Amino acid sequence: MNVDIGNALASVASPGLSRDSLERLDEQVAVAHERIERGMANEEHGYEALNLPERTDPDAVRSAVEPVADAEALITVGIGGSALGAATITDALADESDTEAVYLDNVDPEWVSSQLERLSLEETAINVVSRSGTTAETLANFLVVREAFEEAGVDWTERTIVTTGESSPLRDLSERHDLPSLSVPDGVPGRFSALSAVGLVAAELCGHDIEALLEGAAAERETLAGSLFDCPAYAYGATAYALDQRGAGINAMLPYAESLETFAEWFAQLWAESLGKDDLGQTPARALGVTDQHSQLQLYRAGPRDKLVTFVSPGETDDRPIPTTDVEDLAYLGDASLGSLLEAEFEATEASLAAAGRPNVRLELERVDEYELGGLLYAMEAACVLAGELYGVNTFEQPAVEWAKKATRGLLGGGEFAEAEAVAEKTELR
Ligand code: PA5
């Protein structure tokens, strides 16, 4: 993956980075890199995620999915980091798969019911993913899915794969029913687990090349170095951090491919849940090119100078010519294709932001395939870990998310009442 930070420089944009400030920042990057390397070498919590390209065993994933390899659809039951990495991969590569991937993360009853009514459950596999094995949404949806299978006369125990942490209630359940199971590796928080079994079960079942995903990630890992000038991932993380320090508190992720829309969602979780601590962090915004050129772009170009726009160029794509017409004003379209129009819109939007002095960065893929996706996911994780070091926050914890999880369980009578009582008190105050 290539990163171009040219439009984030002070000569182009405000806020922007001067060459001197980049040199000073690079000293901090060198120190942060040493810390990251130490964490990786010692397999410390969180840093261990950056070792996944070497640690993940594709054969273990393949043999776990073997019993349901014929499935025509896959329901993944999981939320947050237990779903978004897998969804990023299967959505990006959906046009190359005959297996439909459905993600039950939300507990919206109408939506869950509509999915279960629509699918042919005899031909469907279930992929339950929860590191903790205690997340209310995931466990509730799993129980609902199980019941739907039973009502349809399908033995769910023959159709289910479980991926969970070592000591989790979900592991007990999988052992009780003798279900094929995989582990969420130790030291890997949910939002950093896309390149473990958590992300790869769905990819394998949908027929994607999981080895190529890991190879792409491994190639990106090889670029980690003590200078932002030598490492694309660090160039991105350091630039985003430094722009935030100068007032660009919002990072709009703008991929120019429909298939990468879920990537923007995954990125938003990674950036927000990892860096949003101690009153610090940069707010991610999700956008999609070209659609958002006709909505959010107005704000990006002329609104407050509080944004970094991150373009993602998908590289080579299939194309489709635009038919010619005898309407004179539309003649120019007849010489173009949808692909060249998309590319022109990308270039024009990037240039229009630069012309207005708005900082933007370009992430460039060669194409949307397994190898490039593996590299992109890994690079954004490494960028995020670096940014966390620069902010000085604990990138790998998520106390605010955990608080709300406990409060939810407490309100439903599932123990851990301290948080639930706080919710009740607050409600009374209104
Ligand atoms: O990144 C994280 O830690 C979270 O987003 C979790 O992945 C999410 O809350 C789901 O947790 P679990 O996998 O324990 O069900």
Give the CATH number, domain containing residue 220: 3.40.50.10490
pLDDT digits (tens, 9 = 90+) for 98-135: 999 999 999 999 999 999 999 999 999 999 999 999 99
pLDDT digits (tens, 9 = 90+) for 143-186: 999 999 999 999 999 999 999 998 899 999 999 999 999 999 99
- The residue range of the domain holding 101 is 50-208
pLDDT digits (tens, 9 = 90+) for 342-379: 999 999 999 999 999 999 999 999 999 999 999 999 99
Is 247 a member of any domain? Answer: yes
182 and 96 in a common domain: yes
144 and 28 in a common domain: no
| Per-residue model confidence (pLDDT) at position 428 | 64
Looking at the chain, how many residues does it have?
A: 430
Q: Take atom 9 of ligand 1 and give the residue whose Cα is closest.
A: 80
426 pLDDT band, cuts 50/70/90, is low
User: Is ipTM > 0.95 here?
Assistant: yes
194 and 67 in a common domain: yes
Ligand 1, from 45, 82, 398: best to mutate by most atoms within 8 Å of Cβ? 82
199 and 58 in a common domain: yes
2 alpha-carbon distance from chain centroid: 18
Number of domains in the chain: 2
| Per-residue model confidence (pLDDT) at position 407 | 85
Is 348 a member of any domain? Answer: yes
Closest CA to 186 of 201, 169, 168: 168
276 and 174 in a common domain: no
406 pLDDT band, cuts 50/70/90, is confident
Is 273 a member of any domain? Answer: yes
Is 425 a member of any domain? Answer: no
Is 122 a member of any domain? Answer: yes
Whether the CB of 191 sits within 6 Å of ligand 1 = yes
CB 71 within 8 A of CB 201: no
336 Cα: distance to centroid of ligand 1 (angstroms): 45
Which residues carry out catalysis? 273, 294, 405
122 and 254 in a common domain: no
204 and 218 in a common domain: no
Closest CA to 199 of 328, 283, 81, 306: 81
114 and 143 in a common domain: yes
* d(C-alpha 81, C-alpha 171), whole Å: 18
Is 401 a member of any domain? Answer: no
- For residue 21, give the amino acid letter: S
Dihedral sign for Cα 365, 369, 372, 377, please: positive
- For residue 336, give the amino acid letter: A
371 and 230 in a common domain: yes
169 and 111 in a common domain: yes
Q: Is 357 helix (H, G, I), strand (E, B) or coil?
A: coil
| Per-residue model confidence (pLDDT) at position 404 | 86
Q: Which of 152, 181, 208 is the last residue of a domain?
A: 208
166 and 127 in a common domain: yes
- Atom number in ligand 1 closest to CA 138: 15
Give ∠ CA 120-125-126 in degrees, rounded to 5.
115
Is 78 a member of any domain? Answer: yes
Segment 35-55 shows an average pLDDT of 98
266 and 190 in a common domain: no
